[in-house]
Each structure stands twice: as C-alpha cells, then as structure tokens.
Amino acid sequence: MDILNRHYAYSKMEMFDPEEKQHQRAQFLIYKALQKAEIRRSRPSWLKVKVFKLKIKIGKRFKTLRKRIGLTLSSAKIGFCKKITCQWKSWKRQIHGKEGINRSLPSMII
C-alpha cells in the first residue's frame, strides 16, 4: 500500500497551490477551535471541583490569618510605642525634676 493513498498520511504542502494551503490551514484552525470548545463544554471532574473549592477555602483562611497577624502586630507596635513614650516622659520628669529641685535650693558654700 502506498503511503500517499492512506487517508491519514501526511502530505507535503508544497504540492498544493497557495489557495489550497490557506484552505487547509483554516480547516485545521477550525478543527482545533472546535476541539477546545468541546473540552470546555465537558463537565469538570469531581476531583477538580473539590481541589478548586479547597483552594478557595485555603485562600480565605490565609487572608484572615494575614489580617489577624497584621492587627496583632499593629496593636503590639502601638502598645510598644505607648510604653516607650511613657518611659520617655518619666525619664524627662525625673531629669527636669532634679534640675528644678537643684535650682530652687540655694547652693551651700562651706
């Protein structure tokens, strides 16, 4: 049996005129587009649906966890800043308080 006589055999495109090449190319592209459309139309398997739902659930949990961590860090940062400012104010009072006492007392010369 000759290879060229088989209906599924490949043939060289140079044997056809340019118009025939364009026609075959268009037929091939139409075939591929219909094939993709058929794949999309078929119902997804239950496993793909489960995996997709699981991804959504995990994503939501990560999002809430990230928000919770952000709130915790910001509140910790605010608390830390408050402690530092309170400590700074107390040091300031102590320093200025001692100077105020020293100024008010007369210096004792012996």
Q: Does residue 86 lie within any of the structural domains?
A: yes
Q: Does residue 98 lie within any of the structural domains?
A: yes
Domain count, the chain: 1
Residues of the chain with pLDDT under 50: 1-3
Q: Does residue 27 lie within any of the structural domains?
A: yes
Q: How far from the centroid of its chain's Cα atoms is residue 81's Cα? A: 31
Q: What confidence score (pLDDT) does residue 1 get?
A: 43
Q: What confidence score (pLDDT) does residue 95 get?
A: 80
| Average predicted confidence (pLDDT) for the chain | 76
d(CA 19, CA 22): 5
Q: What confidence score (pLDDT) does residue 36 get?
A: 86
Q: Does residue 73 lie within any of the structural domains?
A: yes
Look up the domain containing 34 and give its range: 16-104
Alpha-carbon separation of residue 93 from 26, 32, 61, 97 (angstroms): 87, 82, 48, 5
Q: Does residue 1 lie within any of the structural domains?
A: no
Q: Does residue 9 lie within any of the structural domains?
A: no
Q: Does residue 72 lie within any of the structural domains?
A: yes
Q: What confidence score (pLDDT) does residue 7 get?
A: 56
Q: What confidence score (pLDDT) does residue 26 get?
A: 93
